[in-house]
Amino acid sequence: MTTTASTTTAARAVTNMFQPRNVLVVGMSGIGLAAAGDWTGLPWGLLGALCAGLVPAGYIEWQRKRGTWGDRHVVDRTQRGPIFLVILASLGLGALVMVLGHAPSGILVAMLALWAMTVVLLAVNTVWKISVDSAVASAVPALLAVVHSPWWLAACLLTAAVCWSRVALTYHTVAQTVAGASCGAVTAAAFLVT
């Protein structure tokens, strides 16, 4: 794919705006609200956002400042293992707090679905680079569609934009973004078995 300076600028804006941390803060807050049916779900959603998005982003930033990685994208898949382990531990601890605190089941199921998605991403990443940004950009609208309204599926346009941006920036191939988005979409299936 040949890219121009303006395409690169647009792709970088999309990938920065819709990075996993940002998508998860908005999405998990919305899932918490929808799961509880009122404002009492917001703290649970914010806990989910902290565990799913902010703690991993903080870890990546800490490692970046130490010189381990050049930026938050960690384009070398062989360096991603520790990130996945931090995400799994953070999601697991958050889910435990939710169980002990009697959080609404919808936000807990979302946490467990994201945990399962991360296990799949980690497994795939051991042999092939898969797009985490695309997975998160797909998982959050799918989860919101299940717990709140099917209208959230319209946000799949944003998922497509994230996939495009990752390819345009040459961080991923089309196949890697499609695989990530597919993995993310399947996370909503967790609600079908609850």
pLDDT at residue 100 in the model: 98
**pLDDT tens digits, 31-71:** 999 999 999 999 999 999 999 999 999 999 999 999 887 77
Predicted pLDDT at 1? 52
Contact by Cβ (8 Å): 39, 33: yes
Tens-place pLDDT, residues 91-126? 999 999 999 999 999 999 999 999 999 999 999 999
Which amino acid type is present at position 82? P
CA 40/CA 32 separation, integer angstroms:
8
CA-to-CA distance for 57 and 28, rounded, in angstroms? 15
180 pLDDT higher than 90 = yes
Amino acid identity of residue 39, one-letter, is W
**What are φ and ψ of residue 67, in 5° steps?**
90, 10
Answer whether 168's CB lies under 8 Å from 1's CB.
yes
Residue 60, φ and ψ in degrees, nearest 5: -60, -45
Give the three-class secondary structure for 81. Answer: helix
State percent of the chain over pLDDT 70.
96
d(CA 121, CA 143) in angstroms, rounded, equals: 17
Which pLDDT band holds residue 3 (cuts at 50, 70, 90)? low
Pairwise CA distance, residues 140 & 5, whole Å: 30
Task: Please answer whether residues 139 and 18 qualify as being in contact, where contact means their C-beta atoms are separated by less than 8 angstroms.
Answer: no
Is residue 194's pLDDT more than 80? no
How far, in Å, CA of 16 to CA of 99, rounded?
Answer: 33
pLDDT for 2: 56
**Using alpha carbons only, how large is the chain's radius of gyration in Å?**
16
List, for residues 134-176, the tens digit of each pLDDT value: 999 999 999 998 888 888 888 889 999 999 999 999 999 999 9
C-alpha to C-alpha distance for 72 and 151, rounded to whole angstroms: 31
pLDDT of residue 150: 85
What single DSSP character describes residue 151?
A: G
Confidence of residue 76 (pLDDT cuts 50, 70, 90): confident
pLDDT at 68: 84
- Verdict on whether the full-model pTM lies above 0.85: yes
